[in-house]
Amino acid sequence: MSSRYIKFDRNFVSGNANNDREFLAHQIPSRSQTKSNCIDFVKKLPLFQGLTDDQKISILNEGQVLHYAEGRYLFRHGDSLRSFYIICDGVIKISYVSPEGENRVTDILTSGHSICKAEIFQLDKNHSANAIIVKDAEVMKFPKSWLIENVKKYDVFALNLLVAISYELSNIRMEVEQQAQMSSMQLLMCFFKKLCFFYNFDPAGFELPYSKSLIAARLGVKSETFSRMLAKLKEYGIIIEGSHVSIKDMKVIQKDVCSACPIEEDCLARKFFGKKSHNKFSSFDYDPYFKFRKKN
């Protein structure tokens, strides 16, 4: 077995010596076999549809596959924006620190997600958020010049990127509408339904893919309030025991949550679970651009 080794990456130097030493010491390139596996996974993503296999392999070979341990930073707020990332495995959260000092989680990203695709084309030169590893992650990293050059070189790649950015912005808009018109309980039940959709979980019983505290932060709910909300879910047939979740009847969520949702007609999860034969389909059939996941 090939040994792993530490490589200092100057793209991530923040100017704080203590932070840099801690960060760089945990940015460990993966074995070449892992890079091959990552390329095989990444080249199937919708972002690269329309390119030939030779084109995909050629441009993806320019990337570097890195392993990040749980709790480490992919980048910090204020760091120079120099790279584009694709998650091959693991979980990463995007967070901001409010003026009041509160840590606000704005997204939880898993395998297949890309990071910084829109920011690279904006005028800002520094990251406006933190990207923190929630579960050990394998990430393909490319210099931002790679993204810009391939957008210019391949029209189909540029179109795929535009679609992905548009889809992401649409998700943000829909989330804002939901937060404005739905209760915290409705948002929580909606979150569990989307977990089943995006992870292909069986609603009858599944394990939470990340901690309850992270879910609370993602929903913008304080821990003590979140605990009371979890207990109240029993009234809707949702049983929480530790990290195990059991939804007795998805139709209850469809009735009590989806009916109050301002984006009901645009919700992919609602359409998926609204199908009587949804067990015959993969959620990927409904969400081909942004929520692609590695199949086990």
The C-alpha atoms of residue 156 and residue 160 are separated, in whole angstroms, by 6
Sequence-ordered list of residues with C-beta below 8 angstroms from that of 84, at least 6 positions apart, any chain:
114, 115, 116, 117, 120, 141, 142, 143, 144, 146, 147
The C-alpha atoms of residue 148 and residue 228 are separated, in whole angstroms, by 48
Over residues 15-46, the pLDDT tens digits come to 333 343 333 333 434 444 488 899 999 999 99
Average pLDDT over residues 58-62: 96
Q: Which residue has the higher pLDDT, 155 or 31?
A: 155
The C-alpha atoms of residue 104 and residue 217 are separated, in whole angstroms, by 6
The C-alpha atoms of residue 65 and residue 29 are separated, in whole angstroms, by 6
Over residues 168-223, the pLDDT tens digits come to 888 888 888 888 888 899 999 989 988 888 888 888 999 999 899 999 999 988 88
pLDDT of amino acid 275: 62
Of the listed ranges 54-63, 139-148, 281-290, the least confidently predicted one is: 281-290
**This model's pTM is above 0.85:** no
Domains of the chain from N-terminus onward: 10-176 (2.60.120.10), 182-285 (1.10.10.10)
Of the listed ranges 27-41, 107-121, 173-187, 268-282, the least confidently predicted one is: 268-282
Q: Which residue has the higher pLDDT, 160 or 276?
A: 160
